[in-house]
Chains A and B, each alone.
Chain A
Amino acid sequence: MSFAISMGGFVAIYLFMVTAFAGWVIIGGVPAILHTPLMSGSNFVHGIVVVGGIFTLLNASSGAEQAIGFVAVLLGAGNVAGGFTVTQRMLAMFQTSGHAGAHHAQQHKRAKGAKGAASAVVKPIARKKA
């Protein structure tokens, strides 16, 4: 059994197909309230391109290749770092309003500890599907 990664055309297409389906399903039930953070989050995820940039730069064997490889890593790193901070800042706000939702739920004597907070927060999804 070989662990070496080499992927022919059809295997790659199968991988693309399954992954595309997974991406579609993952986003499928998302409430509108998360559209912006999710766009930002998926923006962060494709920052993985920086790994390809590093691979390319390490294998560069001419000045031109080094220059372009440098740009690839520079831009990829920007995608990763910027995508992470922006997404994290946006989602941190949802965390605080999750607590606000819990307070509200407690006022209505619906809260059951941490689960109360969860149910208050999840409500938009339930409404959307109804």
Chain B
Amino acid sequence: MMITLSQLLIGSVDLVAAFLLMFGLWRMASPVTAPSGILVAGVGMAAAVLASFFYVFDIEAAAKPYLMLNIGLAAAALLLGGGLAWWGGRKVAITAMPQAVALFNGMGGGAAGSIAAVELFGGRTHGAAQIIVTLLGALIGSVSFSGSIIAWAKLDSLLKKPLHVPGLQVFNGLVLLLAILAGAYLVVVDTAGVAPLLPKPELIEIFFAIALVYGILMTLPIGGADMPVVISVFNAFTGLAVGLEGFVLQNPALMIAGMLVGAAGLLLTLLMARAMNRSVAKILFASFGPGTKRKQGAIKGSLKPVQASDAGIFMRYAKSVIIVPGYGLAVSQGQGKLYDFVKLLQAAGVSVKFAIHPVAGRMPGQMDVLLAEAGVPYDLIEQLADINDAFKDADVALVIGANDVVNPEARTDKTSPIFGMPILDADQAKKCYVVKRGDGKGYAGIVNPLFYADNTFMVYGDAAAVCVSMAEAVRGLGAPAAAA
């Protein structure tokens, strides 16, 4: 078979694009080269998208009469989808980025599912292997699509509580089995020439419907604290679906990029789950949070509120302060104000460090991004394993908008849903200030005994406002050279 000029062109550009995507991802895996990595990958992507319009020279005979309309539709879809997402991605707040990633990831899954749908409805698959791969990609892509949308809704607080219905996991298993059976039946109908019970398009519709419902059902019972892992799983899912559809379309660029993300996403998922000391299977298939009814041991002590200004002044005269930021800081956009306060402490000779829990916030590394935005230098930011021993020597642990990641119950209480998760030992500091908006529970929905400990004091209020008050109180003391 002779290769046409357009095929040669698309083939070469896709080859370069696949390399650039891979090279870009590699650069993104190191802090020094990361900012250029996304640009490299972006160039590859743009080239591949532009080159794909050369497909017009090699389209199927049946599509020829529709060519002009199809080109118009493709251009319109590119501009509309790309434009809206570009605008949304520019506008979204740093704190809302986990939701945004979930949403954009769901779109990728939906695109892979749609491609599979066209292949299936149009009867374009040939042989058992191709239809099996198409169906597999369709199933994974659809689950990623509907599941990511639920994950987005949960992170965006549109859906508040995880759904807990007894036996839901068993029911979900049956739904998945049903989807697989529907797919298997389609394969049999397609390859063995058996007369189907229903017309084939309806069978395909039922298959997609079940797959989409499964994505929703599997995500609904998962608690918000586990959402980062779930998004990572769906990210890997979408990659896998894209890779599989790439095989169906005989497009190696899709195969390579998809499988690359599939494997990378899987490893990222495992790294995150390990940081939470939870197995991925447990997160995906076991209930988490208030659904598992249990009696929490009686909590000794009381909540002791103090003024933000008092807390600020106390820290001004401390030797060492370790700050534990959490999602509450992100919500109030208080990172800049917090760093202002930290600079005042440093000017007064206080040693300040930030302790980052691997799953602080709603996504691993989200706190690092947030503090980076405020301009906090890297060497003030320590990860859990490196700083945890330092808490017992610290004068003050300042917990801002974090809860479950400093819950000492995780060390001791075997019945706790977060038992076994490594936590930051804020309770071991000589004094602990907790900045919180109210007495609410953390995302895992459990009471935190740290707040009731003898050496813990509560500073109620919005994290940004509290940081401003603390800074004002310290400034009110006058020049830092006057003391210490």
CB pair B29–A27 under 8 Å, yes or no, is yes
Instruction: Give the Cβ gap from B113 to chain A, nearest Cβ, in Å.
Output: 8
The answer to whether B37 has its CB under 8 Å from any CB of chain A is yes
A1-45 Cβ-contact flags toward B at 8 Å (1 or 0): 011111101001001100111111011111111111111111111
Whether A38 touches B111, Cβ cut-off 8 Å, given contacts A46-B238, A74-B80, is no
CB pair A30–B81 under 8 Å, yes or no, is no
> Which of chain B's residues has its CB closest to A23's CB?
B263
In Å, the complex CA distance between A16 and B262 comes to 10
A93-106 Cβ-contact flags toward B at 8 Å (1 or 0): 11111101101100
Instruction: Give the Cβ gap from A14 to chain B, nearest Cβ, in Å.
Output: 11
Whether A32 touches B358, Cβ cut-off 8 Å, given contacts A5-B250, A77-B82, is yes
In Å, the complex CA distance between A118 and B442 comes to 37
The answer to whether B16 has its CB under 8 Å from any CB of chain A is no
Instruction: Give the Cβ gap from A6 to chain B, nearest Cβ, in Å.
Output: 6
CB pair A32–B364 under 8 Å, yes or no, is yes
Whether A64 touches B32, Cβ cut-off 8 Å, given contacts A75-B81, A91-B37, A93-B372, is no
CB pair B59–A122 under 8 Å, yes or no, is no
Whether A73 touches B251, Cβ cut-off 8 Å, given contacts A36-B363, A51-B49, is no
CB-contact partner of B84 in A15, A78, A127, under 8 A? A78
Collect the chain B residues with CB atoms within 8 Å of residue A7's CB. Answer: 247, 250, 252, 255
CB pair A86–B70 under 8 Å, yes or no, is no
What band does the interface of chain B fall in when counting residues whose beta carbon is under 8 Å from A? 35 or more
Whether A122 touches B255, Cβ cut-off 8 Å, given contacts A101-B378, A104-B379, A127-B386, is no
CB pair A58–B74 under 8 Å, yes or no, is yes
Question: Which residues of A (58-76) have their CB < 8 Å from a CB of B?
Answer: 58-62, 64-66, 68-76
> Which of chain A's residues has its CB closest to B145's CB?
A75
CB-contact partner of A61 in B8, B29, B45, B63, under 8 A? B63
Whether A125 touches B257, Cβ cut-off 8 Å, given contacts A3-B11, A49-B245, A61-B60, is no
In Å, the complex CA distance between A49 and B243 comes to 9
The answer to whether B118 has its CB under 8 Å from any CB of chain A is yes
Instruction: Give the Cβ gap from A20 to chain B, nearest Cβ, in Å.
Output: 4
> Which of chain B's residues has its CB closest to A3's CB?
B3
Collect the chain B residues with CB atoms within 8 Å of residue A97's CB. Answer: 371-372, 375-378
CB pair B254–A82 under 8 Å, yes or no, is no
CB pair B41–A81 under 8 Å, yes or no, is no
Collect the chain B residues with CB atoms within 8 Å of residue A9's CB. Answer: 129
Instruction: Give the Cβ gap from A115 to chain B, nearest Cβ, in Å.
Output: 10
In Å, the complex CA distance between A121 and B267 comes to 23
Collect the chain B residues with CB atoms within 8 Å of residue A54's CB. Answer: 49, 52-53, 55, 74, 78
Whether A60 touches B247, Cβ cut-off 8 Å, given contacts A75-B81, A75-B111, A77-B85, is no
Among A20, A61, A81, chain B packs the most CB atoms within 10 A around the CB of: A81
Collect the chain B residues with CB atoms within 8 Å of residue A125's CB. Answer: 30-31
CB-contact partner of B258 in A48, A66, A87, under 8 A? A48
In Å, the complex CA distance between A72 and B263 comes to 23
Collect the chain A residues with CB atoms within 8 Å of residue B67's CB. Answer: 58
Instruction: Give the Cβ gap from A25 to chain B, nearest Cβ, in Å.
Output: 9
Instruction: Give the Cβ gap from A8 to chain B, nearest Cβ, in Å.
Output: 9
Instruction: Give the Cβ gap from A36 to chain B, nearest Cβ, in Å.
Output: 4
The answer to whether A50 has its CB under 8 Å from any CB of chain B is yes
CB pair A2–B3 under 8 Å, yes or no, is yes
B32-62 Cβ-contact flags toward A at 8 Å (1 or 0): 1011011101100100110011011001101
Collect the chain A residues with CB atoms within 8 Å of residue B371's CB. Answer: 97
The answer to whether B401 has its CB under 8 Å from any CB of chain A is no
CB pair A128–B383 under 8 Å, yes or no, is yes
Question: Which residues of B (229-258) have their CB < 8 Å from a CB of A?
Answer: 231-232, 235, 238-239, 242-243, 245-247, 249-258
Q: A31-B383, A58-B74 are in contact. List 4 more A-B contacts (CB 8 A).
A: A42-B261, A46-B238, A57-B77, A81-B85
3 nearest A-B pairs in the assembled complex, by CB-CB distance: A85-B89, A23-B263, A77-B81
A-B contact pairs, 6 of them (CB 8 A): A27-B267, A48-B45, A52-B254, A84-B42, A86-B89, A94-B372
